[in-house]
Structure 1
Amino acid sequence: MDFDPESKNHHAEETEHQAVYAEKADVADYKADAIEAENVEHNMTVLQAVRAYPMASFWAFVISSTIIMESYDVFLMGNFVALPAFKKKYGVLVNAATQEYALVTKWQSALQVSGQLGALIGVSLAGPLTSRIGYRWATITGLMLLNIFIFSFFFAESLPVMFVAQLLEGLPWGIFIANAPAFCSEIVPIQLRAPATQMLQMFWAVGSIIVGAVTYVYNPVPEARAWKIPIAVQWIFPTPLMILIFFCPESPWWLTRKGRYEEAARSVERLGRKATINATDAVAMMRRVIELETSVKKPSHLELFKGTDLRRTLIVCGVYAAQNLTGNLIANQAVYFFEQAGVSTNTAFALGLITSALQMIFVMLSWILTSYFGRRSIYLWGSAVNTVLLICLGIAASCGHSNAANLAQASLGLIVSVLFTLGPAPASWVVIGETSAIRLRPLTTGIGRASYYIIEIPCIFPYFELPEMKGRSYREIDIMFKRKIPARKWQKTVIDVNDDE
């Protein structure tokens, strides 16, 4: 038989064309179904969406509850620095007459930032891990790790060990906080995306309520159980959640990204009522969206900073980071803030508990506002109002330690903490869940949360590195930097007028 290279090339070309035509035909087949599914979602009311997808609402509720654990521990450390027994055990005597103790400032800052450092690592790991094994198993892995790491925190007997324990606990927090908004936004229809993702802020408030109640009860206790029992309470959450999430369906969007269409259809059926939804059409809609993002490459962090995905990444990072600049830090440290404003310890703990309860109510109100006014309006107006209030708070804090100034600080702190959960906080969760590309969603939410932690760290960092340069000449400033004088010692350091080093 004669070998004809031209004939072979022609045959290969024809085969390739046939494959392309087959693919186009396949796309045409499911595009009509995809359009139908999208129209159905658009035409649903909120109540119809809840009736059509009851289990989606339930599983969004379950996954959102993982946020309780990060919230609980963040507020726990904030309350520990104000807890009398904890301060006496690990602090230094600052007033012999009143026997008042306080943690050294560097340890206050270190303990506050330790969990955030761990979470920063955790969110960096969450994207690749979730892209590989899915939301369900990534979350279960985080819960198993958390169960183990709580042991190290409970049995810690020194501040350095507590620092490490908190850092370790932060690893699974990073997984939860990166995955929860993405998963919730993927398993519910359009009309439920806002309330499903805003539940995250509600559970953040739930965590603060629980820790507020526990620490309020144990605030008067002068023994180690004043902080040991609140630490042990953390074990209530991981195991029951692990069991529940084991039976949770995987995100159909994640399954569709992996080409597992039959499993994605079964997942849709488990999330909704078979009588009212068409799983095949729903998967077709997902395939259509994913086709728009098709790439032969595996999702990578580098893609987040290219093309249109760069804009999406910047939005998610900006929204996450801005949480710390519009009231989040005050909300997280409410009890300590109230104490610093001159309020008694018992009253500070009570105010912290009241603040958390109000936050939960205001998150529920935000569901209504977001439904009527959208994400952008609520976020921008909420941030603007809180910015004005924070400026007023700063003015009050610079007016000395009079009763009026202390009362103004405490009142403004409470208002800022509560309004934060009406506008910027819940709206930001919706934006974070919706903005990222489906293909890159686990990576985008991970790096977005990383920006949150990166911004939060500098809010503490100035104590260690920002010196007081008032009244210093440039010569003195140069010399003091060269001598590596710690920031907190600049005010007391004398530089001789003859020194030129």
Structure 2
Amino acid sequence: MSNPADSKSPGGGGDVAEVEKATTNIDHSADLDEKAKLSAYKADAIEAENSELNMGVWEAVKLYPMATFWAFVMSTTIIMESYCVFLMGAFVAMDVFKRDFGVPDPKDPSQYAIEASWQSALQASGPLGALIGVCIAGPITSRIGYRWATISGLMCLNGFIFVFYFAPSMAVMFVSQLLEGIPWGIFIANAPAYCSEIVPIKLRAPATQMLQMFWAIGSIIVGGVCYVYQDKNDPSAYRIPIALQWMFPTPLAILLFLAPESPWWLVRKGRLEEAAKSVRRLGRASVLTNLDESVAMMRRTIDLEKSDKEPSLIELFKGTDLYRTLIVCGVYAAQNLTGNLIANQAVYFFRQAGMDSTTAFALGLITSALQTIFVMLSWILTTYLGRRTIYVWGSLINVCFLVALGIAGSVGKSNAASLAQASLGLIVSVGFTLGPAPASWVIIGETSAIRLRPLTTGIGRAAYYIVNIPCIFLATYMLNPTGVDLGGRCGYVWGATGFVCFVVAWIWLPEMKGRSYREIDILFKRKVQARKWTKTPVDINDDA
């Protein structure tokens, strides 16, 4: 006869069974809790994504006014690069600068010209420095964030402007531009990524396209300043425009110190509470009642990448990330091959087309003003027609005008031919800012994987400079009287390169209009053909 106490003794089998049963119940309960949490987290993510997808443009502006403002502030950093790029283009067309640093013009010994080699070197030195800047921007930003990386660049720029202002020779100017280029690289790598991350889906196009608008505004400021000072007969004609660069870095650094960090960057770092605070600061607190949903959407997208490692450059060239990297690099590099260099050297081009100094600077100012207006028009076109549509067909239209420019430069020397070349040069410069240029910023901001975005935008801009630097030498050699002096016939060269860019974009560039970052990730992983993206649905519940 068994003793009932045996089943309750420390060594009895009954207690073991009960303990095992209790443990199983606890584990099962824990599993249910974990599943419930995951289900709730995914439901929040889906709710936030649906909300953004169904949001109209004006509704997005009303809900996220501060996101729009901070994107505006970050975009303003591009003025620094634009200002200096166009400044060097204006200096080589300025009579006082040519007299102080140039040689007698072979076509007219009573006039002066900057030697083609020095002209190319001055205009390539900034991009060389920027190439260094974009290479260090990705690792720095991945570690300390967009705000502090950009603020550091702004403070360095303040010091480098001193070198440029007091430069006594072309060699020192070259070094100063090289140094200034390093912070430019940080700004240009960070700005499109930050702007695309802090705004909702429907505002990604206008937010990133503001970069092109501020590029045009930089050229307007240069055009206005140089138009006023180009008639002066002393070094203040070019020293004052250099000194005016100090207007920008310190005020922008103060504003960015007050700005919120990208919530996507904070989520990548696991700082979820700070990400929620950042989302609150970007929108209207009275409306954004459930911040957890927005953070959950970000977590869901980032979890698709399934990696706890620190981002590395090697990852950019593996698997589907290679395709995404090539798109960003290709779109960046193509900016040099579809009319951008004519836009950047507009004043010099007008001088070579036969315009006098005052008229050339006035036309340059008009070109810059029109570029600003056309960039704002492109906000509407890109938002409603799509990125691929505007980029691809805008490139083809620009190719047609470049060929027309080449024809105008081939008909011989006459007043009518000079006017035709100047007019077509203006159309190419303005047309570039309506189609390929602003659309490219949106594509760059949307294409890369979230985790790799700072690195991808940095490498993409590096590709831009790698193509830009030899193209600067080529463009200068084609236009300069000490080179081959092609004038408008350079349109044939840029028309040919632009046509190649059009074909490549038509084959490989997908349409990302109206897609969440989760959908973009999934479509890349599924290897959907670029021209079929618009017809390929992605279910809101899909994670792969």
TM above 0.5:
yes
- What's 2:487 paired with? none
Q: Give how far 1:391 is off.
A: 1.5
What one-letter code is carried by the residue in structure 2 that aligns with 1:342?
G
Question: Where do 1:344-355 residues align within 5 Å?
Answer: 344-355=356-367
CA contact (8 A) 2:266 2:272 kept: yes
Distance in 2 between residues matched to 1:122 and 1:48, nearest whole Å: 37
Check if 1:327 corresponds to 2:339.
Answer: yes
- Tell me whether 442-451 or 402-411 shows the greater mean CA deviation: 402-411
Question: Where do 1:286-297 residues align within 5 Å?
Answer: 286-297=298-309
- What's 1:120 paired with? 131
Q: Give how far 1:28 is off.
A: 2.8
Q: Matched residue pairs, number? A: 456
Pick one of 275, 284, 291 that aligns with 2:286.
Answer: 275
Pick one of 187, 194, 197 that aligns with 1:186.
Answer: 197
Q: Give how far 1:275 is off.
A: 2.0
- What's 2:517 paired with? none
TM-score after normalising by structure 2: 0.81
- What's 1:317 paired with? 329
Residue aligned with 2:105, SS: strand
Residue aligned with 2:104, SS: strand
- What's 1:7 paired with? none
How many percent of aligned residue pairs carry the same amino acid? 72
The change in CA–CA distance for 1:219 and 1:31 in structure 2 (over 3 A counts) is same
Question: Where do 1:218-257 residues align within 5 Å?
Answer: 218-257=229-268
The change in CA–CA distance for 1:150 and 1:428 in structure 2 (over 3 A counts) is same
- What's 2:392 paired with? 380
Q: Give how far 1:149 is off.
A: 0.4
Q: Give how far 1:460 is off.
A: 3.2
Q: Give how far 1:95 is off.
A: 6.1
Q: Give how far 1:298 is off.
A: 1.3
- What's 1:9 paired with? none
What one-letter code is carried by the residue in structure 2 that aligns with 1:253?
W
- Tell me whether 16-25 or 297-306 shows the greater mean CA deviation: 16-25
Check if 1:165 corresponds to 2:176.
Answer: yes
CA contact (8 A) 2:120 2:476 kept: no
- What's 1:407 paired with? 419
The change in CA–CA distance for 1:238 and 1:196 in structure 2 (over 3 A counts) is same
Q: Give how far 1:27 is off.
A: 3.3
What one-letter code is carried by the residue in structure 2 that aligns with 1:399?
V
Question: Where do 1:61-100 residues align within 5 Å?
Answer: 61-94=72-105, 99-100=110-111
TM-superposition CA deviations, 1:28-75 (whole Å, max 9, x none): 331110000011111111111111101000000000000011000000
The change in CA–CA distance for 1:21 and 1:339 in structure 2 (over 3 A counts) is farther
What one-letter code is carried by the residue in structure 2 that aligns with 1:216?
Y
- What's 2:12 paired with? none
Check if 1:32 corresponds to 2:43.
Answer: yes
Check if 1:259 corresponds to 2:274.
Answer: no
Check if 1:143 corresponds to 2:157.
Answer: no
Q: Give how far 1:276 is off.
A: 1.5
Question: Where do 1:464-479 residues align within 5 Å?
Answer: none
Pick one of 443, 450, 453 that aligns with 1:441.
Answer: 453
CA contact (8 A) 2:321 2:448 kept: yes
The change in CA–CA distance for 1:97 and 1:412 in structure 2 (over 3 A counts) is closer
TM-superposition CA deviations, 1:193-244 (whole Å, max 9, x none): 0110010111001000000000000010010000000000000000000111
The change in CA–CA distance for 1:159 and 1:24 in structure 2 (over 3 A counts) is farther
Distance in 2 between residues matched to 1:96 and 1:321, nearest whole Å: 34
CA contact (8 A) 2:119 2:476 kept: no
TM-score after normalising by structure 1: 0.87
Structure 1 runs not aligned, ≥5 long: 1-13, 469-501
Pick one of 53, 63, 66 that aligns with 1:52.
Answer: 63
